[in-house]
Amino acid sequence: MTIHKLCKPGEQLSQVNLPLFSTHVCAGFPSPADDFIDRFLDLNEHLIKHPNATFFARAEGNSLQDIGIFDGDILIVDRALERNHGAIVIAALDGELTCKILDLHRQQLLSANPDFPPINIAGIEHLVIEGVVSFSIRKHLSA
């Protein structure tokens, strides 16, 4: 999966407060919804923990489709998070960015699609882990 950097949020994030309703939305059979607003929600406070160490990138390709990251998704990448085993990371291999699952036990970058083989990283000198993917954002409208 190729990665295209979009932007870095910067030090000052604008706050956008949107209503968060007190009822849950049923994903099965419909239920009547309340018109009561529980509180207002700023997505920055939920999606960006380290503003100075966070950037956005756009995913390209389908190597992580089995874990729900698809072509065109926006990735929120945090450079301050630990690069733990099993983390979804943005890695620079010989200057090219890719998004994969970090396997520290086997020293590999893994895909989540059987069509893509693991990438061995043992002994690679030009490997840089740019950050950890904390969230992905997907558009659900077709137009």
Q: Which residues are designated catalytic? A: 63, 100
Q: DSSP labels for 51-120? A: GGGEEEEEEESSTTGGGT--TTPEEEEETTS---TT-EEEEEETTEEEEEEEETTTTEEE-SSTTS--EE
H or E stretch covering 45: helix 43-47
